[in-house]
A and B are shown apart, each in its own frame.
Chain A
Amino acid sequence: MSPPDDIDLTRPQFIGAKVMRREDPRLLAGEGNYVADIKRHGMLHIAFRRSDHAHALITNVDVSAAQAMEGVVAVYTGADITRLANPYQATSRMKNYQATFIPPLAVDKVRYVGEAVVAVVAISRYVAEDALALVELEYESLAVLVDPEEALKPDAPKLHDDLESNILAAREFARGEVAEAFADAAATAGGRFHFTRTTPVTIEARASVAEYDKGTRTLTLHCTTQIPGIVRDKLSEIFDLPGPRIRVIAPDVGGGFGGKTSLYSEEIVACAIARDLGKPVKWVSDRMEDLMTTGNAFDEIVDAEIAVAEDGRILGVKADVIGDVGAYSIYPWTATIEPVQVVSFLPGPYRIANYAARVRAVATNKTLTGAYRGVGRPISVFVMDRLLDMAARKIGMDPAEIRRRNLVNDDEFPYKAASGLVWDKSAFQACLREAADGIGYDELRREQAAARADGRWVGIGVACYAELTGVGSRIAVAPGMPINTGTETCNVAIDSTGAVTASFGLASQGQGMETTLAQVVAEELGVKVEDVDIVLGDTASVSHGTGTYASRGAVFGGGAGILAAKAVHEKIVRVAGHLLEAAVEDIETGNGDVRVKGTDKSMTIRDLARALYSDMGRVPKDMRDEIDNLEATKVYDPFFGTTTSASHMCLIEVDPETYKVEIKRYIVVEDCGRVINPLIADGQAHGGVAQGIGVALMEEVIHDKTGQVLTASLVDYVVPSAVEIPSIDVVHVEAELPGTVGGFRGLGEGGTIGAPACIANAISDALSPLGIEIMEIPATPERLFRLVEAAKAD
């Protein structure tokens, strides 16, 4: 597919340039504006008393002592919030799905440790936290379900009495004849894989400031969200307020990674209280709250098997996935988003004729799971690429070679993967080839052989993946959701001062979109990058937009930005044709000027705006009636979306004394389409891989059998520091551009999708003389020690 003809790709002036970020000066000078920085006159502070039970009936709530404390203004219970906010749930049209209501404050029953039960409002956060201790809560314990395999049994106690079971979603995929494929196999491999639970850990924890203007009956919520539009739309229903009287603003937000893509109870409670009291209120999460309540990630058990022919061809794959989704089905994504994605992406970039898979999303007494960088696909790739390595070992084939033989070739696109997803076109083979060249694969294998002869545990990892990015209206980001994630809006306006503003429904959490979107709009409009103001994260700016998630910002924002800028450009050219007395075909723009090609006749766009808006008489009335203004709003729908792909390779060594895994080399070769800003594109890959390394080696949310979170501090939940992350080589393959407007593909999540599999394969490779296969991550020193001890005992 080639880009549409009418988009001019011949003059990249800013797209592809290493433009330094415009966000940086304010953030570097300490002048950013994060939610926690917001102050309002008379602002009150909220603190939450949270459940210390994983599953219990609330038998008594006594807030009188807290209420009586000096400095406490109000105390709210679940019953109070029920009165102030309509109930809500994450619905889906998907078959075999059961939605759950999510009470903003628990009513009658708590279902996970950390669930908010009571909200105290006081003159300072210190006082509000003091008062929490005075809230009297009594519980009657219920059976706690922490093991999803127990929770899915027909006789298991139910978390939600109104549901049929704890299985919130179930789905099956099938293509071809799997049983026959396995019967014909030269080798089969597989087993039980476990991808443990992690949590996003944005360095800025979640926060909200809610204000209610009694005069205009308007609610304003500043919050740390990636999805201001989705939050606004739902708050409108929850509070029976029309959209224009709810404004949700995401100012500077300190990282998201998916953790801030859900509607959170604290946001609803803050709004309810602000409206009830008529006072501005603020809530800032502490880290313990964040670790216990921000949407957790992954947590799947996958029984999977692969069948291959003697020449390495994949004959069939089967998988049975159990996803532990926690206590409720998260809004808006539902409990389906993570586990269903595991199954739909499991076939990956490989040619697989026979595939059978089943997935069940099971409720347990744990924090809700939601979106986290990669969503399901880190597990898909972990399982698929581990299976490939295990099969390769059985038939004595090199891991890179077995991938080369199975990756979809360039002449096979568009390719319908075994789960039904369609890969439009992406440089699967080229990424693998260039990764091998870039890391010096053959030489590394020789070095590894020498190291192995010395008894060292040195391993090489390979992983390949494909993902759908910029997913348009044809496919919902989560199956059957009633919200539209398939379009995005941009308004480009040149006002009467001649200034350019481009407004989007997207929101930025550090991706540098104020810079990249300005590059895109400036390119199309023919103005300087610094002359384009970018508005993000404010529901007042466009009529519909959902936000930034699922690697959609560049595809949607870039596409909508180009379409809107192009429409404004047409208006500029028409007005300029009149003012410069030239044919519109002869008009061109650049650097903020309008020129007649091949002449010295020109004017500034600023002067053109003055001519249209203010200097009556310079543009005739009939033309003004037709042009209206120098403004356009466009909605972009990429429909199918586009395929981003990559190959990751790494070299690791396991220390035989400490069992620490040292990553010595790491390369990412990715096809992310047209790169808008190489600085930012590389940074996304670095950060994604770093999070993938955390997932592979360190990070794990651990619950004990009573459902207590044992990892509620950053001492116990360990994320990588500068000493654990190597320098990462990033190469962008310049393949044929996708059919998206602008030729962009999404690239935010890829690093995290590929890295866990790549590292797990490298460790398995290093320990292969002991016959060890990594089936569970993170591969902590303790887990590796136990595997080696067990292998030695055999």
Chain B
Amino acid sequence: MKKREKILRINGDILSVFRICNEVGWESLKEISVYRIIYISSVLYSFKYPSKENPFSEDYDFVTSLRGPFTEDIKISLTNLLVNEYLVENGKQLSLGKETSNKIDDLPKYKEKYNWFEVVIYILAIYGEEKIYDFVVRDPEYQENLQTNSIKEINIEKGNKTYSNLVKLKETFERALGESANELDDKKYLEYYFDYIFSKILRGELDHEL
């Protein structure tokens, strides 16, 4: 029963991702992008809400794989959503199917996670779906697990390496701007963080650096 509830919650997250992606003009997604978007959202959550419990923690056990962060449960959910026509597959692309459900709104912490997905996807959409790979492959927490060949699940809790980097970025702005930094909110820091990573990637400066 517990497993079934978990899959339902993950179903809800996946459908949220597809709905928000539709709003930014991504009508379909590669399966691998679904894993990556949920991973990025989960690893960054505690930066925005440091005093809240990370709602992704109870459902996601990401491990490193050759294709990026992976968890069997997303795989199961995707199959479930495809079989029930909430999603349809066209080649290697997935998109929303003819079935829709309003019940997912009632899932625990659904709205909280939906709002957070919205923040993350709207930032990712600035760069395009094809750039999500660049961000995930250079994500400090993911890289640490990869480099140490860790078989343990990736830490998405507060204090993970990505979180620590964001905190450092924020402290740097606060040091440089003094009190004026109060005018910047955490969402803005997230944007700067992505901006910083992608500008480095574009200049080819982040290939080996953690």
A, B from the same assembly:
no
Interface residues of A (CB under 8 A from B): none
* B contacts, CB < 8 Å to A: none
